[in-house]
Structure 1
Amino acid sequence: MPKAFVGRAQLSTEVESYVREQILTGEFPAGSRVRAENLAEDLGVSPTPVREALQALRGQGFLSLEPRKGFRVLALSDQDIDDVFLAQAFLAGQLARRAATNLSDDQLDNLTQMHDEIDQAAALRDSETVQDLNDSFHRIINKSAGSPKLRLLLSNTLFYVPSRFFATNHQYPSSDHRREVLSALRRRDPDAAEQSMSHLISHSGHLLREFLGNRGIEDAS
């Protein structure tokens, strides 16, 4: 049982996140069955929050429910991944467009330093640091947009990406595309910021598709 579950509030949400990650990393492969009672026993929790979590994942398209057979893991198709990153690239692009005129000079300096540190960590194959810095880089931009509903919509697309994607697959976000984002933000150019951010996110989508395909999680049909 993962210790993170012990004594935690919102247990259903915790179980949901755990199962989603197991699916996205191939630990629960496409076509496999997930039984609430068995999972509850494995995790050391009661079946009720597990059933709630599995129903939530069914609503998100990760599981199907078959009468008298329980839940089955669904495959992610190429089209699924393309659609997720189409939405993510659009939303992140809109946030970057708005951030271009909102970011302070100090924030831009901080983003530039993060960019350099990401490249340094990538050169050292320090995947955990790349992940942490990349998350912070995007968080600063997204918060600076001043558009909380767009940020919420963007967060929903992240359900379909492993939570520690760059740390997990040891591939890294595009330095060139990130540099283009920074250049556009420095110029206070909303159009260029939107376009360059969309390109950066789309590149990450290509990395995810490759990762999922290599792990046998994708279904090309």
Structure 2
Amino acid sequence: MTLAGTLKGVSRDTLRGRVYTELRAAIMKGTFEPGQALTVRGLAEAFGTSPTPVREALQQLVAENALIAEPNRSYRIPRITRDIFLDLRDTRAELEGLAAEKASANITPAAIRKLEQLIDRMSRAIAQQDLKGYLSTNEAFHFAIYEAARAPILLRTIRMLWVQVGPTLNVLFHDLDLVEGLQDNHRAVLAAFSVRDPAAARQAIRNDILAAGDFIAHQPSVFES
């Protein structure tokens, strides 16, 4: 588990904020898997801080439905139901498609080059069967697009959805042909950006989310029974 390393030498409020941000990012990137248990003590050791800011950050994530508080004072990555996942999938397809559409008008050549590099990194991760590397880079790719939309409310809403769905993405490497196919959607987004085609950008992101979501929806081990 790769987390913040050390957060010493800053105020309690700043510590709590940093721990929260790092943990939320880890959940979104699929660092943790559905059903995985987290402890305050283990996370405090990973962050190199006291238990208090970790506990406060965990409680904030519980309030956002990203974690479940257990009776033994530990926390757990939830297993969502298949129906909830499908609702998240469909909502993400619409909102993230909208963000890609907006980004097509704003994205810079430098941002497009960054996206090209991220696609290359994902291809290397697939070739090396590096699941966590792929998931981290995939998240970076998507949010580079959504940040380019310059729509802060939309971006905040998308993050709220990703924190609930991120752990389910761990099953994508059950089918390497699938993730190779998802790269075609990523390249289609770039092609749309290069000609400033908002409708094509929106459709490429929708295709990406729906293809991955359809596969995950048929993996029963992910979901709460």
Superposition TM-score, scaled by structure 2 size: 0.66
- Give the aligned partner of residue 63 of structure 1: 68
CA distance in 2, matches of 1:184, 1:100: 8
What is the identity, as a one-letter code, of the residue corresponding to 2:188?
E
Distance 1:199 1:50, change over 3 A: same
8 Å contact from structure 2 (residues 16, 56) kept in 1: no
- Give the aligned partner of residue 150 of structure 2: 146
CA distance in 2, matches of 1:92, 1:153: 10
Distance 1:27 1:75, change over 3 A: closer
**Residue deviations 1:31-67, cap 9 Å, x none?**
xxx9xxxx4455567775565445434423343788x
- Give the aligned partner of residue 93 of structure 2: 89
8 Å contact from structure 2 (residues 34, 79) kept in 1: no
Secondary structure of 1:100's counterpart equals helix
Residue 27 (1) aligns with residue 36 (2): yes
Residue 10 (1) aligns with residue 19 (2): no
Secondary structure of 1:188's counterpart equals coil
Secondary structure of 1:98's counterpart equals helix
| Aligned residues between the structures | 205
Secondary structure of 2:107's counterpart equals coil
What is the identity, as a one-letter code, of the residue corresponding to 1:189?
D
- Greater Cα offset, 40-49 or 85-94: 40-49
| Higher helix fraction (1 or 2) | 2
CA distance in 1, matches of 2:160, 2:7: 26
Which aligned pairs between 1:195-214 and structure 2 lie closer than 5 A?
A: 195-209=203-217, 213-214=220-221
| Identity within the alignment, % | 23
Q: Unaligned stretches of 5+ in structure 2? A: none
Q: Unaligned stretches of 5+ in structure 1? A: 29-33
Superposition TM-score, scaled by structure 1 size: 0.67
CA distance in 1, matches of 2:144, 2:69: 37
Aligned counterpart in structure 2 of residue 126 of structure 1, from 130, 154, 158: 130
- Give the aligned partner of residue 100 of structure 1: 104
What is the identity, as a one-letter code, of the residue corresponding to 2:91?
A
Residue 176 (1) aligns with residue 148 (2): no
Secondary structure of 2:106's counterpart equals coil
Distance 1:108 1:78, change over 3 A: same
CA distance in 2, matches of 1:132, 1:41: 25
What is the identity, as a one-letter code, of the residue corresponding to 1:14?
V
Secondary structure of 1:219's counterpart equals coil
Secondary structure of 1:10's counterpart equals helix
- Give the aligned partner of residue 161 of structure 1: 165
Distance 1:40 1:93, change over 3 A: closer
- Greater Cα offset, 74-83 or 170-179: 170-179
Which aligned pairs between 1:176-195 and structure 2 lie closer than 5 A?
A: 176-195=184-203
Quick check: which has more Rg, 1 or 2?
1
What is the identity, as a one-letter code, of the residue corresponding to 2:224?
D
